[in-house]
Each structure stands twice: as C-alpha cells, then as structure tokens.
Amino acid sequence: MADRKSSSSAGVSSRLTVRRKEKAENEAKKEEKPSKEGEKVEVNGTSVPEETGEAATGNGAPANGENAEKPEPMELPPFEIITGDRMDPFFYKFQFKNVEYSSGRNKTFLCYLVDQGPGASGLLRGFIEDEHASGHAEEAFFQQVLPNYDPALKYTVTWYMSSSPCSACAAKLAEILKARKSLHLSIYSARLFEWEEPEIQAGLKALAAAGCKLRMMKPLDFTYTWNTFVENDEQTFVLWEDCQENYEYYQDKLADILQ
C-alpha cells in the first residue's frame, strides 16, 4: 500500500504535513482554552485563583468598566453540502487517493452520472461534497439531484466516491433501492471507509443484497473521473505510485466482506 511503505516519500510527506497541522491546531486549542471558574492561573510564574465576574486589577475595579459585558459566544454556521460540475484538481488528487491510512481526508466527494432512460432530458452529471458535519453526500444526492422518483422511468445511477458509505448511509440507500424498483445504483469507491467495523460490513452486505453494485475504483476509473469531473485544464492525469496495488488490496477486502 502506498501509505504503509516507508519507501513511499510522497505518502510520508502527506502524513507528516497533516500531523503537523493537527498538532498545531491542538496546541492552539490548548492555548485558547479558558480556565474554569475558581481555577488557578499563572501570573508572573505564580499560581493564583482566577477572579470571577470581573478582571483582577490593582484597585479591584473591573478592567473594562463597571458596565462591561461578557461577549456573546459566536455561533458558527453548519457546513453546507457543496455541489458543482467540476471540482478542484488539488481536492481530487488528495481526497480520491486510494491509500489505506486516510488521515486528514475528512470529506466525502461523490461524482455522479444519472441516465433516466428514453424520454428523459439528457444525462445528469456533477459532484457533491460534504464535511461529515451535516448531511452526507449520499443522502444529499437524493435531496438535491434526484428528489423526485417516477416509477415509469428507468434510472441508471453511477457513483464514483472518495470512500465507501458509512453504515447509516448504507442502510438508507438499501431502503431507497427496495422502494424504487426501477432505480439501479452502482458505487465505485476509491477507499473502504472503516471496513474493519462490523456495522460497516453489515451495511455493505445489506446494500449489495438490495441490488447495489459495489466495486473499488480501478486505475482507469481515476483517469475517467479526472477527465469527467475535474477542472483539469486538459492536463494529463498521472497515477500515483501503487495505485494498482492499492486497488487490489481494497478489492480483496471488499470481496471478503460481501462473500
């Protein structure tokens, strides 16, 4: 595997970069962490109790005036689902790399093709990106891309995903496929998401039993998705080292799960 071999300098560099970033973020959080009420804080090298209600000053007066108010906590908006026609090439190369250890790859990218059969208005194509903090890309597809189902149409849906579905998404997809008999779904994944977990394995089995075709992305699939879903400026895609070996590794794991 690319990220398991010490001889792969690119994989090591990627992991080191991510680890440095995570370490820096953790250190920043520790520095910013407010002390609890009554907790001792360091002042000129001496531990003293923290003043409550007002800042400690030489004359006991509040540092910001008697009517100073505590700032309201800022509420960050939830991450939004992102959709588009072609994605950034940097994101593609990082998120779709089929390494075993996926540190820092905390998103799911889902590239889709939808053929609704004769009489439909052409082929639907694009990508969906999530942040694992709100709805997942699999669910967003049926909310934003294919919200309406016409049983008179025959849907052929193909997904190319940066990682396979989680257990919750696999269960939802299995229910959708059972309810929508004329919808056929194929999922080609770059990596297996937490494949060692029993609930993940059960979800993939249920998804396959519901009629979904599951397969890992082959080297040719990466070239195809680069040309079809990425703003590549007509640059030729160069596969990373061990891409074929990594595909075979994951494909064997998936075959073991589904047998």
Q: Which amino acid is at 60?
A: G
Q: Looking at the DSSP assignment, which residues form a beta bridge with residue 109?
A: 129
* Pick from 211, 227, 222: nearest CA to 247: 222
Catalytic residue among 66, 69, 138, 196: 138
Residues 117 and 156: beta-carbon distance below 8 Å:
yes
- Annotated active-site residue 138? The verdict is yes
Catalytic machinery residues: 138
